[in-house]
């Protein structure tokens, strides 16, 4: 059933599971656990529709590289699935190989522990599980890059697809406009007992459950844990100062441009760095898109004016000289885009700002940084791509100046993939959750979503998020 | 300001006087071309050695053999 917590604030029932957040992780878990017979209370801070007032709560101080945290997330039922692109690719076995990067271990679980859930995860986002993930084109380059293999969800909007099911599922009570503001622990601090909620009128209620699962995303999950400081001053699950650390994004690097030798034969190409290439170079994964620009794109309220001046620059052949104002490609040019794995990095992190929201909760402060490991990944990948593209007779790549000159700062953007801030590790000194996504030190508190990622891979996170949730649901049920 | 000159005329004349040198400056007599044997240091800065097989010219990654033997 659905309840508007701005209107109905009475919650007296004790539930088997309390799930906080209605993005793909929260919805997947609630459906799965309810079907297994568990009584579920599902909490959503936003409403059933988008609202500016709700979105304002995602205001976030950003002191490192800008990851646009307010605009890349959505605070209403369905979460960020309400604007994702639908691109899906699962993790590979190499993502789970034992490794230490920047002093941090990789995943403590094996690929075989999430692979069984791939088929069901594909069906959840309306992919053809029989077809799987097929290479998009023939192998065109040398041994350093394979053809990429991803599939496109329609994209599935979890709100549109699953809201009605959740409303009518008899053992799910979903409260929207219900913001979680604190988690009560018992006297030992090892067992969560109740979660405290607030609505916009600042009316509070508590919900008791046997188990709690936080599905708030890579920024809001650590923010919530750090704000739960009434009983433990550094926040819950944070005895070793790991909550919020290792914020990872996927790196969108303007690596350069290219010319095809034969413009009639090829259109868009997608490549994925081969495992042998990466291990030989000691670098992370990368996913490269090469395509011909069809038209100028600009964003924002002044996009018409931006497009006007960009078109003038292209027609006057001076686009090179105005890149310091705006980085763009002219129609007909070959553009290279990337989705590059960022390594876990303790200095890239979410902490709390001094500013508070209307619920009295400190806002998040994001300090997004990349490490020398990531810079090496970017440069070596770009050079290898340029060489093999030429050797394959496909054409020529012009790499950006920062690829060849290490004195120039690397330019990079984001992909709206927030990962790693409550990372999985066998050790509570290197992570926040254990191999079963349980918070170290709290027996009945779990976290689901991309915040538990130990590494980010080079794929959109939705598929592994859902696979891990299905695995967690089986563990809890 | 003299009574015979309006404010509009004054500013128009001022604009014409300052704009004319700029307009004339666009018609620059081209410099004598440099001999080919004289390498521009700016060109050298745009060459980056990558490895034994590849070089980058202003960012364009090219095989060294095509620089010496030409494109096949």
pLDDT in tens, A156-207: 999 999 999 999 999 999 999 999 999 999 999 999 999 999 999 999 999 9
Mean pLDDT of the A269-286 span = 95
Check B58 against A398: CB less than 8 A apart: yes
In the prediction, which pLDDT does A6 show? 95
> At A139, is the pLDDT very low, low, confident or very high (cuts 50, 70, 90)?
confident
Check B59 against A390: CB less than 8 A apart: no
CA atoms within 13 A on the CB side of A212: 28
User: How far from chain centre, in Å, is Cα B49?
Assistant: 25
- Computed over every residue of chain A, the mean pLDDT equals 93
> At B45, is the pLDDT very low, low, confident or very high (cuts 50, 70, 90)?
low
Reported as a single tens digit per residue, the pLDDT across B15-31 is: 666 655 555 555 445 45
Q: Are strands A395-399 and A334-341 parallel, antiparallel or unpaired?
A: unpaired
Check A256 against B59: CB less than 8 A apart: yes
Q: Where are the beta strands (DSSP E) in A82-222?
A: 87-88, 100-101, 104-105, 145-147, 151-152, 172-176, 179-185, 192-198, 204-214
Residue of chain B whose alpha carbon sits nearest to that of A403:
B59
Contact indicator for A251, A378 with CB cutoff of 8 Å: yes
Mean pLDDT of the A200-225 span = 97
Is the predicted pLDDT of residue A111 greater than 50, yes or no?
A: yes
Is the predicted pLDDT of residue A324 greater than 70, yes or no?
A: no
Q: Which residues of A touch B53 (CB under 8 A)?
A: 387
In the prediction, which pLDDT does B27 show? 47
User: How far from chain centre, in Å, is Cα A67?
Assistant: 11
Higher pLDDT, B2 or A352: A352
- Put simply, whether B71 touches A (Cβ < 8 Å) is no
Residue A205 and residue A207: Cα distance in Å, rounded? 7
- Put simply, whether B56 touches A (Cβ < 8 Å) is yes
- Put simply, whether B62 touches A (Cβ < 8 Å) is yes
Share of chain A above pLDDT 70, in %: 95
Is the predicted pLDDT of residue A140 greater than 50, yes or no?
A: yes
In the prediction, which pLDDT does A138 show? 85
DSSP states of A299-344: -STTHHHHHHHHHHHHHTT-GGGGTTT-----TT-EEEEEEEEPPP
- Put simply, whether A401 touches B (Cβ < 8 Å) is yes
Q: Which residues of B touch A411 (CB under 8 A)?
A: none
Shortest CA distance to A199 belongs to which of A349, A72, A10, A377? A10
Check B54 against A400: CB less than 8 A apart: no
Contact indicator for A334, A290 with CB cutoff of 8 Å: yes
Is the predicted pLDDT of residue B1 greater than 60, yes or no?
A: no
In the prediction, which pLDDT does A421 show? 98
Most confident of A57-66, A432-441, B53-62: A432-441
Check A396 against B53: CB less than 8 A apart: no
In the prediction, which pLDDT does A298 show? 67
In the prediction, which pLDDT does B35 show? 52
Residue of chain B whose alpha carbon sits nearest to that of A257:
B60
Residue A179 and residue A53: Cα distance in Å, rounded? 13
Dihedral, CA of residue A232, residue A445, residue A81 and residue A42, to nearest 10? -100
> pTM here?
0.87
Mean pLDDT of the A233-253 span = 97
Dihedral, CA of residue A419, residue A422, residue A426 and residue A430, to nearest 10? 90
Shortest CA distance to B57 belongs to which of A386, A412, A388, A379? A386
Residue of chain A whose alpha carbon sits nearest to that of B48:
A404
Residue B14 CB coordination number (10 Å): 10
Nearest to A387 among B54, B58, B60 (CB): B54
Q: Are strands A14-20 and A100-101 parallel, antiparallel or unpaired?
A: unpaired
Residue A343 and residue A190: Cα distance in Å, rounded? 31
| Helix ranges restricted to H, A359-461 | 372-391, 401-404
């Amino acid at each position: 059933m659905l309840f508007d917590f701005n209107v109905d604030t009475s919650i007296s029932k004790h539930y088997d599971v309390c799930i906080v957040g209605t993005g793909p992780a929260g919805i997947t878990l609630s459906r799965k656990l309810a079907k297994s017979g568990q009584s579920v209370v599902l909490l959503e801070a936003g409403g059933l529709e988008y609202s500016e007032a709700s979105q304002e709560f995602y205001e976030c101080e950003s002191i490192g590289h800008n990851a646009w945290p307010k605009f890349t997330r959505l605070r209403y039922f369905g979460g960020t699935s309400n604007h994702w692109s639908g691109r899906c690719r699962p993790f590979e076995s190499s993502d789970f190989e034992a490794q230490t990067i920047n002093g941090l271990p990789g995943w403590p679980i094996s690929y075989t522990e999430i692979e069984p859930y791939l088929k069901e995860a594909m069906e959840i986002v309306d992919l053809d599980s029989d077809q799987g993930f097929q290479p998009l084109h023939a192998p065109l380059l040398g041994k350093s890059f394979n053809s990429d293999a991803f599939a496109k969800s329609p994209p599935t909007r979890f709100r549109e697809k699953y809201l009605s099911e959740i409303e009518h599922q008899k053992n799910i009570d979903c409260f929207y406009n219900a913001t979680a503001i604190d988690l009560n622990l018992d006297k030992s601090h090892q067992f969560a007992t109740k979660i405290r909620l607030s609505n916009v009128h600042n009316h509070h209620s508590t919900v008791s459950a046997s188990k709690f699962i936080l599905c708030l995303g890579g920024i809001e999950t650590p923010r919530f844990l750090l704000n739960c400081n009434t009983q433990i001053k550094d926040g819950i699950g944070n005895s070793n100062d790991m909550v919020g650390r290792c914020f990872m994004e996927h790196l969108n690097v303007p690596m350069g441009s290219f010319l095809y030798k034969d413009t009639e034969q090829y259109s868009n190409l997608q490549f994925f760095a081969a495992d042998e290439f990466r291990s030989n170079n000691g670098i992370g994964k990368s996913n490269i898109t090469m395509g011909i620009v069809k038209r100028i794109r600009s964003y924002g309220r002044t996009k018409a004016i931006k497009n006007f001046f960009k078109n003038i620059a292209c027609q006057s052949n001076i686009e090179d000289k105005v890149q310091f104002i705006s980085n763009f490609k002219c129609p007909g040019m070959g553009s290279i885009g990337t989705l590059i794995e960022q390594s876990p990095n303790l200095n890239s992190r979410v902490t709390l700002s001094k500013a508070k929201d209307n619920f009295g909760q400190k806002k998040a402060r994001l300090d997004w940084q990349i490490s020398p490991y990531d810079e090496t990944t970017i440069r070596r990948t770009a050079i290898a791509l340029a060489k093999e593209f030429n050797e394959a007779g496909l054409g020529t790549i012009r790499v950006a100046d920062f690829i060849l000159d290490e004195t120039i700062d690397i330019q990079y953007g984001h992909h709206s993939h927030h990962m790693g801030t409550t990372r999985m590790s066998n050790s509570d000194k290197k992570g926040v959750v254990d191999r079963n996504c349980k918070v170290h030190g709290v027996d009945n508190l779990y976290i689901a979503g991309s915040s538990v990622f130990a590494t980010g891979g080079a794929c959109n996170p939705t598929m592994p998020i859902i696979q891990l949730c299905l695995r967690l649901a089986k563990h809890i049920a | 300001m003299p009574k015979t000159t309006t404010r509009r005329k004054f500013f128009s004349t001022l604009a014409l006087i300052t704009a004319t040198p700029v307009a004339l400056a666009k018609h620059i007599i081209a410099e004598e071309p440099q001999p080919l044997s004289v390498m521009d240091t700016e060109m050298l800065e745009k060459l980056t050695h990558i490895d034994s097989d590849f070089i980058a010219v202003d960012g364009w990654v090219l095989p060294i053999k095509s620089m010496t033997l030409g494109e096949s």
